[in-house]
Structure 1
Amino acid sequence: MQLHSVSGKWRVGLALSLTTCLLWGILPLALSVTLNVLDVYTLTGFRFLIAFTALGSYLTYKRQLPSWQKLKQVSWKLWGIATLFLAANYLLFVSGLANTSATTAEVLIQIAPVFMGLGAMVIFKERYTRRQWFGLSILILGFVLFFNEQLKMLIASPNQYLFGSFLLFWAAVCWAIYALAQKQLLLQLSSAHIMLGIYAGSTLLFAPISTPKTVLTLNPLELVILLFCGLNTLIAYGAFAEALEHWEASKVSAVLAITPIVTLVCVDVFSVMFPALVAPEHHTFVAIFGAFLVVAGSATIALGQYRKRG
C-alpha cells in the first residue's frame, strides 16, 4: 500500500502546527461559556455546520470544489472512518469538558497527540531519534510538574471528574484515529476537500439530535462565541490538515503538546478581562518550571533529526 509522504517544508508545517495549537488552546474557554446555554449535541452540530458553510462557500467562490471524477477515486471507507471518529471526538471532548474544566480537559486530551505519534511510527514508519526520545522524556517530566495540582484535584474528587476524564480519554483515542486516517487521505484529496466532506458528514450526523431553536434564544455575545467556536473548527483543523501535508505526524503531535500551556495562559488573561465568564487559576513556581520543560521537550522533538525505518 502506498503511504503518504510529506513535502519537506518543515517551516510551513511548524507555522501551521502553532496556529492550530493557539486556536485549540483558546477553544475550551469558548466552549465552556457556550455550554452554559446550549446542550452538547446542538453545540457540536452547529460547530460543524458553521465550518461546513464557511469552507463550502469559500471553495465555491474560488471554483475549487472537487470534481466527481476525483471523488470516485477516493477511499470512501477511509473518509467515513475519519468523519465518524472526528465527530465522536468532538462530542466526547465537549461532554468531558462539561464534567471537568478547561484545564483538566486540555491535560487529558494530550493523550491524543501521543497516540497519534505512536500510530505514525507503526503505520507511516516514522521514527524518533535518541535526541527526540530525550525530548519526549523532558516533555513528560514537564507535564508532571506543570499539572501536579490539577492531577491531585482529579484524584481527590473522583466523583466529579472520573466520568468526564473517561470521556476525554476516549475523545483522545478517537482523535488519533481520525488524524491518521486524515493523513492517508491526503494521497487522494487536498486537505480542504477532505475537511469539507468531514464537516458535511458530521453535520448530518448531529442534525437529528440537535435542537436548533435554542440557538435563537442566545444573546449577541453568546452568538459571537458560538460563531467563534465554529470558525475555530474551520481554521484550526484546516491548519492541522495542511501541516500533515508538509511535516511528519510525530513532529506535528509534539508541537500540539504545548496546547495546555496556551489554555492556562488564556485563562489568566481572560479571567482579568472577563471575570464574570472565566475564573482565575493560580500556579506555583514548580508549575511554571514544568511549563518551560514542556516547551523545551516539544522543541527538541520537533527539531530533532527525522529517520525512516529501514
Structure 2
Amino acid sequence: MGAWVVVIVFLAVVLLGVGIASLRIIKEYERGVAFRLGRLRGPLGPGIVVVLPGIDKLVRVDLRTVTLTIPPQEVITRDNVTARVNAVVLFRVIDATKSVMAVENYAVATSQIAQTTLRSVVGRADLDTLLAHRADLNEDLAASIARQTEPWGIQVEVVEIKDVEIPEMMQRAMAREAEAERERRAKVISAHGELQASTELRDAAMTLSESPASLQLRYLQTLLELGADQNSTVVFPIPMDIVRPFLESTERPADSTGDGVSHIRRVRSDD
C-alpha cells in the first residue's frame, strides 16, 4: 500500500510540474504563434496559454511599433550628384502568423527592402527635389516599402529621410547660387523702390505746380528746417517764377537806354 502511495504522489508531482511548465504568459502587446509537432496551431494570447513541453513550440511576436534606422546609402541622383542619404522607418506587425510563416526574419528583411528602395527612389529624383521636396519622397518611399512588406504581415507607418550629405564642392556652388539669388532680389526690390519714389515725386511736383502758394510754403518750410541745423552757409535755389518779375523790371530801363544810344549813332552818321 505504501508503494502505491509513493507512485501516486510521484505521478501527481510530475503532472503538476508538467502543468506548470506548460503555462506561458503572453503580454498584451505580444502574440504567440504555436506549432504542435510542426503543424501550425495559430496565434495565441494575450494572457495565459498552454504549450506542452516537447510537443509544442511557441514563437513570440511583438506587435509594438519598431524604429528601424537605415544606414547611410551612397546614392547618385538623376542629375548625377553623389549624395549620402540615411532614413528611419517605423513599422509594426499586424499579422503575427504571416510574420513568422512568410519570412524568416521580418526585421532584417524589412531593413534590406528599405535600403534598396531608398537607393531606387532617391536615384530617380534630382538634387533640388531631394532637398526641397523631401515630404513627397517620404510618401513615395513609404508606399514602395509597404507594397513589398504587406505579404509578410508588416505595416509601414512612417518613412523619413533624416540627413542628406552632398560633396563640399557642391555645397560651395549652392552657396554661390543662393548669394547671387539674394543679390538679384535686392536689386529688383531697390529698382521697384526707386520707381515708386519717382512716381510719388512726380505726383507731388504736379500737385505743387497747380498751387504756387503751396510751393512757396514748401520753400519756407525747407528754410525753417535748414535754419534749425545752425548751418553757417545755406545754398538755396529760388524758382524762376519768383525772380522773373524782378528781372523784367530791371531790363526795361536798360532797353530804353539802349534805344537812345542807337538813335544818337544814327544822327551822327547822317551828319
Q: TM-score, normalised by structure 1?
A: 0.18
The structure in which a higher percent of residues are helix is 1
Larger radius of gyration: 2
Q: TM-score, normalised by structure 2?
A: 0.20
The structure in which a higher percent of residues are strand is 2
Of structures 1 and 2, the one scoring higher in RCO (CA 8 A, sep 6+) is 1
